[in-house]
Amino acid sequence: MKQITFSDQSLNEFSKLDKLIQLKLLDKIGEVCDGSMQLSKNAAIGRFRREGIDIYRHRIDDLRVYFEIIDEDVIYCRYILGEHTLSDFLYRFCLPVTDEQLTEGSGSFWKYLESFVNKK
Residue 77: which of 114, 29, 39, 118 has the closest Cα?
29
Query: Using CA atoms in the order 60, 62, 63, 69, what is the torsion angle rounded to 10 degrees?
Result: 20
Using alpha carbons, list the distances in angstroms from residue 65 to 61, 76, 78, 119, 120: 10, 10, 8, 30, 34
Q: Report pLDDT digits (tens) over 36-50.
A: 445 556 667 888 888
- Predicted structure pTM score: 0.71
- Residue pair 61/23 in contact by the 8 Å Cβ criterion: no
Give the whole-angstrom CA distance, residue 7 versus residue 42.
Answer: 25
> What average pLDDT score do residues 91-103 get?
59
Q: Tell me the domains of the chain and their CATH numbers.
A: 3-84 (3.30.2310.20)
